[in-house]
Amino acid sequence: MKIIPYILIAIRFILAPIIILLSYLNGAESRFIILSLMYLGLLTDIFDGIIARKVGVSSEKLRRLDSQVDLIFWLSLGFATYFFNSELIKKEWIGIAVIFMIEALCYIISWSKFGKETCTHAWLSKLWGLSLLIAFTYLIGFQKAGWALHLTIILGIISHIDVILIILILPKWQYDVPSFYHAWQIRQGKQRKKTTFFN
């Protein structure tokens, strides 16, 4: 059982190049396959953390690995979306560029302060992940952007601001911090009990 979370993370890692290759080589013909792989990846992301906490292997190493594979997985879907809808993406380039910049800023601040990448798994970041799922479903499945992409850009900015505040508030590096409020509690010496289903 203890190896299952690592297997689920590995599946998501393997799906990333498959998604890129399918979208690049087969174009729009592969969009429904890619959507299926996206939802499969989401399921592995949900259950790797739950199972890890259930069997007692939710370590720093596992959570950091999970975060970096998440980034690779969602980036692969971003590339696929660009291959399918380059004109749609170009029209929204300002908002997308802001997300990339603020994501980079999170890493820069975290590395500057702690010497490690960010690994908060914050609640707003999870909400942003769901909005990404909706946006990619619209972009890949229906060739549309509209409200779904605008929503994910807004939530992306808000969730990254939350992560930046978490990093700035925490006295030392820590993984699985739900929000900047919880980071403030940690700074005040209060430790939060983690549950099986939430970090």
Indicate whether 71 and 94 sit together in one domain.
no
Mean per-residue pLDDT of the chain: 90
Structure tokens at 61: 């190493």
Indicate whether 150 and 97 sit together in one domain.
yes
d(CA 173, CA 54): 24
Asked if 23 and 125 touch (Cβ cutoff 8 Å), the reply is no
Residue-wise pLDDT for 20-36, tens only, equals: 999 998 887 899 999 99
Indicate whether 52 and 90 sit together in one domain.
no
Least reliable range by pLDDT among 18-27, 28-37, 82-91, 157-166: 82-91
Which of the listed residues 33, 53, 84 is the one where a domain comes to its end?
Answer: 84
Residue-wise pLDDT for 92-121, tens only, equals: 899 999 999 999 999 999 999 999 999 998
d(CA 62, CA 91): 37
Q: 108 is in which domain, residue-wise?
A: 86-199
Structure tokens at 167: 């990093």
pTM score of the predicted model: 0.88
| Residue count of the chain | 199
d(CA 75, CA 49): 20
Nearest 10 degrees: Cα torsion 125, 130, 133, 134: -130
Structure tokens at 27: 């174009």
Asked if 156 and 128 touch (Cβ cutoff 8 Å), the reply is yes
Indicate whether 68 and 149 sit together in one domain.
no
Indicate whether 24 and 99 sit together in one domain.
no
d(CA 61, CA 49): 12
Structure tokens at 143: 């060739």
Overall number of domains in the chain: 2
| C-alpha of 144 from chain center | 22
d(CA 180, CA 80): 33
Indicate whether 55 and 105 sit together in one domain.
no
